[in-house]
Amino acid sequence: DDSFYVMANAGDHWMQFVMPEVLDHEPWYPVFDTLSGFVEGLAVQVHAGQVIIVPDRSIMVLKRACLGC
């Protein structure tokens, strides 16, 4: 099964999100954001404790990499 982490910012300023430590099993990869659209490839990895900036009035979706699947 795929796992997704969704961050939504309905405010009018950019917002910082911190990836929870409980999600540190495998890296996460951006797959979609409303600013850029769909993201291709696995070039950017996101790990637990990392700060992610989400622009105002936007949504960002990360997908967990299933390395052991």
State pLDDT tens for residues 17-48.
998 887 667 788 899 989 887 877 666 888 88
Residue 6: both structure tokens together: 């969704």
Region 47-54: mean pLDDT is 90
Which residues in 5-35 are b (16+ Cβ under 10 Å) and which e? bebebeeeeeeebebeeebeeebbbbebbee
Which tokens belong to 14? Answer: 């950019």
51 vs 24: which has the higher pLDDT:
51
Burial class of 2 by CB neighbour count within 10 A (0 to 12, 13 to 18, 19+): exposed
